[in-house]
Amino acid sequence: MLESPQEFVDAVSDVSVDLYRDEVFGIAGESGCGKTTLVRVLYGHIKPPLVLKQGSVELCTEDERPIAITSLSLRKRQRMVWWKRISYIPQASMNVLNPTMRIRDHFAEMLKVYSGMSKERAYPRAYEYAETMGLPSDALKAFPHQLSGGMRQRTVIAMAVLLEPDLVLADEPSSALDVITQRTALTFLKDVQTKLGNTLVLVTHDMNIHSVLTDKVAIMYAGKIIEIGKTSDVFQKPLHPYTRALIESLPRLGDKSQRTGLGGQPPDLRRPPEGCRFHPRCSHAWAACSSDEPSLLEKEDERRVACWLHA
């Protein structure tokens, strides 16, 4: 929840997700739907104005009891969880690199700080690591400003997985990149996930990216998950009218047929509409939609949808 001096806004409300090992989980939705807020909660990065009113996030580990991320102190989160167990790649993260440091020194620095390696051991280990990640050697010697956006993004991704975390959260990792560099950065992210066998949460508004990269996808609208399922199923047969609108409004090369977008505006979350939050814009809405809120119900195998049409 986001706090303003006068009131609270439910930026994310009543969301439950299970993430499994060795999967790419997508979170889709448009601006203001709460996808970034959700990821920040998953990361345990809860700082005012963001306030967690209810619920928790637990990380299961192989050897220990589950770690309740949201109830740890900031210091513990920093020492035990961040980078080692959960990494976060924020939006426009290619700009986080220190402009006065060479790329290879960024890696060495991380090893020194987080695994307590000595300088002598950290440097060779950093070079070796960067090489296995497929970063070209001239890029390692360069300063960040000398590299293209795509190469910087790959560097940040490589840094995020340096300590082999169980969970990588990537928030719009490619929205500032061009299609070709976007493809190299995202396939790189996917390769890394396959190599480590961990979980990747990919947040993006771009449905096309979900269609080629994620295994499962959750669609958010106005702070709620309205549909969740295997990506291929969701694209083949979107159940929620909003999901269908998102997918069908995308233009395709080779197809000039008339496309129409959604009418209306997303709701003001300070005063969300009664009932289903999508009903004012929904062409299938009927009486129940404006009075009662549909809950996210299991429809088929691993497929859940919050819509009265399917209840």
Residues that bind another protein (CB under 8 A): 30-31, 136, 138-139, 142, 146-151, 154, 178-184, 187, 190, 205-209, 211-213, 235, 245-247, 249-254, 256, 258-263, 265-266
Question: Nearer Cβ to another protein, position 35 or 77?
Answer: 35
The answer to whether the peptide bond before residue 49 is cis (omega within 30 degrees of 0) is yes
Q: How far is the CA of 153 from the CAs of 13, 149, 156, 234, in angstroms?
A: 31, 6, 5, 29
Distance CA 61, CA 67 (A): 8
The CB-of-139 to another protein minimum distance in angstroms stands at 6
Write phi, then psi, for 278 (nearest 5 degrees): -95, -10
The CB-of-135 to another protein minimum distance in angstroms stands at 10
Question: Nearer Cβ to another protein, position 42 or 226?
Answer: 226
- The b/e string for 241-264 (b: 16+ C-beta within 10 A; e otherwise) is bbbebbbeeeeeeeeeeeeeebee
The CB-of-255 to another protein minimum distance in angstroms stands at 8
Question: Nearer Cβ to another protein, position 2 or 262?
Answer: 262
The two beta strands, 297-300 and 8-9, are: unpaired
Distance CA 79, CA 75 (A): 6
3-state secondary structure of 304: strand
Amino acid at 5: P
The CB-of-249 to another protein minimum distance in angstroms stands at 5
The CB-of-17 to another protein minimum distance in angstroms stands at 22
Torsion over CA: 27, 30, 34, 40 (sign): positive
- Residue 190 in contact with residue 200, Cβ under 8 Å? yes
Question: Nearer Cβ to another protein, position 114 or 280?
Answer: 280
The CB-of-29 to another protein minimum distance in angstroms stands at 9
- The b/e string for 285-294 (b: 16+ C-beta within 10 A; e otherwise) is beeebeeebb
Question: Nearer Cβ to another protein, position 165 or 238?
Answer: 238
The CB-of-128 to another protein minimum distance in angstroms stands at 20
The CB-of-265 to another protein minimum distance in angstroms stands at 5
Question: Nearer Cβ to another protein, position 53 or 141?
Answer: 141
Q: Given 3-state DSSP classes, what are the helix, strand and coil percentages for the chain, each rounded to the nearest 5?
A: 40, 15, 45
Nearest to 159 by CA among 136, 182, 192: 192
Question: Nearer Cβ to another protein, position 4 or 118?
Answer: 4
Question: Nearer Cβ to another protein, position 131 or 178?
Answer: 178
What does the block give as tokens for 294? 């549909």
Amino acid at 104: R
